[in-house]
Amino acid sequence: MRVELIKWSMADKQALITICNQIDRSYLSDRLPNPYTEVSADWWLHRVEETEGKCAIFREIVVDGKIIGTISVEQKADVYRKDGEVGYYLLADYSGKGIMSEALRQICELAFQELDILRISGLVYEPNAASRRVLEKNGFVLEGTMKQAVIKDEKIYDLCVYGKIK
């Protein structure tokens, strides 16, 4: 199975909508609209066009010619500008197959080459063991835990802060 990271384009809008309406949102930010509409996709794809390669790297995760998820590194601002935050999600049918670990390896390499950053941070809800493993497999180190830092579906979670240095 070959994992490819491909730049998002407006031509991929329907795939984006489908993925965003099918993914497990248990440990994702609430800023991801639900349901995910054509308006949501247009807004996000325009944002990708504006920031790609300048302060962010956005990629679709493609396996066997099918878009199955997304991954990005977005450079922070102000005094945090040498740090980028990674974010990702994958359709459930493709979880546990090493796809995200490979996608993360590739996006870190790209981000360190193309963005003016020295580190990449990954923020993960404490019970999200799968995502934590993906980061750890790629050399991210648990730097600390922010206690009671996240509320999702009326549950309070600790937030694990991971980092990888260039």
What is the average per-residue pLDDT within 96-120? 98
What is the C-alpha separation between 118 and 44, in angstroms, rounded? 26
The separation between the first and the last C-alpha atoms of the chain, rounded to the nearest angstrom, is: 28
* Candidate CATH numbers 3.40.109.10, 2.60.320.10, 3.40.630.30, 3.10.20.30; the one for domain 3-118: 3.40.630.30
pLDDT in tens, 39-57: 999 999 999 999 999 999 9
Mapped onto helix, strand or coil, the DSSP state of residue 98 is coil
* Per-residue pLDDT, 11: 97
| Domain assignments of the chain as residue spans, ordered by start | 3-118
pLDDT in tens, 75-92: 999 999 999 999 999 999
* Per-residue pLDDT, 1: 86
What is the C-alpha separation between 96 and 102, in angstroms, rounded? 12
* Per-residue pLDDT, 166: 97
pLDDT band at residue 26, thresholds of 50, 70 and 90? very high
What is the average per-residue pLDDT within 7-30? 96
pLDDT band at residue 124, thresholds of 50, 70 and 90? very high
Its pTM stands at 0.96
What is the average per-residue pLDDT within 144-155? 97
Which residues have a Cβ under 8 Å from the Cβ of 21 and sit 6 or more positions away?
A: 34, 35, 36
